[in-house]
Amino acid sequence: MVENVLKKTPIAQRFVKQLIKVNDQACYFTFYQWEFNQILKSIPKERSEEFTTDVFSKNPYAESIYRRIVDLPLFSSEAEQVALRMSVISSVEHMLEPV
């Protein structure tokens, strides 16, 4: 019965579109996280105490993050969670904006 009510409102379509965007973001971050973990696995353990600037010297952003390689998996996971939360918050804020 709720579905019938939502189908009649313009909010339903906007809400579904935002949910699709959030889902796409979640899928992207899951994909990205897996790829990044593969890169980290390929780094020799002897380099785990080195910093991002040494291991990823060609990456222009390595200096701005400046973390030890051993800390990156946890940091990456936490960053992914923040990004996912921001996607959800953004979609909710978009839905709450007046039409």
Specify the 3-state DSSP secondary structure of 57. coil
Residue 22 has pLDDT above 90, yes or no: no
Give the predicted TM-score (pTM) of the model: 0.64
The answer to whether 63 touches 53, Cβ cutoff 8 Å, is yes
In the chain, domain spans: 2-96
Residue 24 has pLDDT above 70, yes or no: yes
Question: What are the CB-based long-range contacts (under 8 Å, 24+) for 5-11?
Answer: 10/99, 11/95
Alpha-carbon distance of 8 to 30, in angstroms, equals 34
Specify the 3-state DSSP secondary structure of 44. coil
pLDDT in tens, 28-44: 888 988 999 899 999 99
